[in-house]
Amino acid sequence: MAALTGGRLLSRIDPITTSVSHEGGIAVLTVGGDVDLATVPTFEAAIAEALAPEPTALVIDLTAVDFLASAGLQALVATHEKVSKSARFVVVAEGPATSRPIRLTGLDQVFALYPTLEEALAALNAGS
C-alpha cells in the first residue's frame, strides 16, 4: 500500500528515498521520507554509495525528510566520525522535522549545518 506524503508517493514498506550525485569531487546524498530505525539501513547503504569514489566532501541533504529519528541522528554522527579525517562533511536541513532535532541535540556544533543545498555547496566551493 502506498501513501501520499508531502506531495510524494511513498511505499509503506520502505518510506525513504535516496539519490546520490557527484560533482567536482563533492558527493551529494539527497534523502526523502522517514529516517528511522526501519529505514536507517537504506540510509547507511546510500551513504556508503556516496563515499565509494572517495569524494573530497559529502553533503547529506535532508530537506525532503519528513521524520528524523534518533537512529538517523546516530547515522549522521557515525558518518561524520568516519569521513572527517579524509573529507569535509556537511548536512542540509531546514524546518522542524530535521534541523530542530539536530540543533536540540547539539549536533550543529559537531558538523556544519546549512538551510539550503546551494549554501552548503557555496561554502564547500569557497573552502569555508
User: Measured between alpha carbons, how far is 54 from 23 in angstroms, rounded to an integer?
Assistant: 12
The answer to whether residue 8 is domain-embedded is: no
The answer to whether residue 9 is domain-embedded is: no
E strands in the chain: 2-5, 8-11, 16-23, 26-35, 57-68, 88-92, 112-114
Q: Work out how many domains the chain is built from and give that number.
A: 1
The answer to whether residue 57 is domain-embedded is: yes
pLDDT at 122 exceeding the cut of 50:
yes
Give the pLDDT of residue 1. 39
* Burial category of 110 from C-beta neighbours within 10 Å (exposed 0-12, middle 13-18, buried 19 and up): middle
Domain range for 28: 17-127
Give the CATH number of the domain where residue 84 resides. 3.30.750.24
The answer to whether residue 11 is domain-embedded is: no
Residue given cell 542540509 in the structure block:
92
Give the pLDDT of residue 108. 97
Tell me: the pLDDT tens digits for 4-52? 444 455 445 669 999 999 998 999 999 999 999 999 999 999 999 999 9
Give the pLDDT of residue 2. 47
